[in-house]
Structure 1
Amino acid sequence: MSAENKTPFDQVNDTLTQLKEMRHYSKNNVERLTAQWLLFDGELKKLKQAERIEELMTRQGELHDALEAEITALEELVVQLQPAPEEASPGSVH
């Protein structure tokens, strides 16, 4: 289905899928950076690099939080945009 033929529901779902993938990688990056930080905290401080790494960890954490918030908002929008189930026509037999 081309982008021109997608409904708003489909477009939001596609965006939501991409954001969830970004969240997954963001979480992994935060965990990896934190693990490295814990291993080298003392050495980084001696080399005067600790503050720069702390800033990166903070920014990565903020990105992860922003992704979480946007995913929540889009999940609520998906519910609103979801097409209503097709109702049976008045002359149909159940």
Structure 2
Amino acid sequence: MADEIPKTPLDHVTDLATQLKEMRHYSKNNVELLTAQWLKFDEGKLKKLGESKTIEDLMTRQGEFHDALEAAITELDELAEELKPPPEEG
């Protein structure tokens, strides 16, 4: 454990961006799954139950979360570029 190299701010930013990119993948999948369910309740055989608004609200919230993830990833990627050391001349 004493031989561990401490993480730099760039390492932490890169780690967080990687985690958010993984979350983005699952978020997109969740939106697609909710859309499939919504179609069943809005246009399909479950329409008479009247629950499409409930699922539509979840789709909207999940979509907003996905958009926020995109913005955070962009911001962190830009920060990572700023934190990278300048290239060595030689």
The answer, yes or no, to whether TM exceeds 0.5 is: yes
Distance 1:72 1:61 in 2: 17
Q: 1:37-48, aligned counterparts within 5 Å?
A: 37-42=38-43, 43-48=45-50
In the TM superposition, residue 32 of structure 1 has moved relative to its aligned partner by 1.1
Q: Which moved more, 1:12-21 or 1:29-38?
A: 29-38
Percent identical: 67
Give how far 1:45 is off: 4.3
Task: Check conservation: 2:40, 2:46, Cα contact below 8 A.
Answer: no
**Whole-Å Cα distance in 1 between the matches of residues 40 and 49 of structure 2?**
14
Return the index of the structure with the highest Cα Rg. Answer: 1
The alignment covers a number of residue pairs equal to 87
TM-score relative to the length of structure 1: 0.81
Q: Secondary structure at the match of 1:5?
A: coil
Runs of 4+ that moved beyond 6 A:
none
Measured on the aligned residues, the alpha-carbon RMSD in Å equals: 2.0
| Unpaired segments ≥5 residues, structure 2 | none
Out of 69, 81, 84, which is 1:82 matched to?
A: 84
SS of the counterpart of 1:74?
Answer: helix
Larger RCO of the pair (alpha carbons < 8 Å, separation 6+): 1
What secondary structure does 2:87 align onto? coil
Which residues of 2 match residues 18-57 of structure 1 at below 5 A? 18-42=19-43, 43-57=45-59
